[in-house]
Amino acid sequence: MTSVNSAEPKSPKPPSAGAFVTRTELFAHLENLGIQTTTLDHPAVFTVEESEALEQDLPGGHTKNLMLKDAKGRLFLVIAQAHTSINMKTLHKLIGCARLSFAKPDRLMQALGVPPGSVTAFSLINDPNHNVTVIIDQTLMNYDVINCHPLENTATTAIAREDLMRFIHDGGHEPQIINLDKRPETPQEAS
């Protein structure tokens, strides 16, 4: 089912302990920003492979999202084009941090208010204190329309690239746009 957001405008409530913005509140917030989206409801998907069937129904860039924690405890949300190959052994060199690992489900829920499988650029609405650093794949920026889960993996929302960036900036996040397919230079190559 495809629908254009028609929720009544209202500002999302600021997240507090255990309370996070819902899908309906997200859509109301987007509407308040003057951002139009289209959403397709579908069975839950948990992997890029499971969501590949949706790609033919939804034009644009499809995302995979990684919630990562570095060895110093800093949190990173990596928003990549679905088919970008991300080397977890060298990613920390590309983004300039300590070694990375996946954030545990409870840390993910605490930071972004979503369970595994529902991580999305839209979950930044649940990070008002900017505890999460946002990394966006340069390849994703080649698409005019970007498809993201609207805080749950039972739907996909199409949003214009510029509107997604406006949403992210409106929340106070300053994303780093990085070529995630790039191989970092070794000390020998840099000299």
Range of the domain at 139: 2-182
Angle among Cα 103, 151, 27 to the nearest 5 degrees reads 145
Is 82 part of any domain? yes
User: What would the mean pLDDT of 140-157 be, rounded to a whole number?
Assistant: 95
Residue 50 lies in a domain: yes
Q: Which residues are 38's β-sheet partners?
A: 4, 158
> What's the CA gap between 104 and 40, in Å, rounded?
28
CA distance 101 to 66: 10
| Cα–Cα dist 184/102, whole Å | 20
Residue 7 predicted with pLDDT over 80: no
Q: Residue 55: its pLDDT value, please?
A: 62
Average pLDDT over residues 58-71: 93
Q: How many domains does the chain have?
A: 1
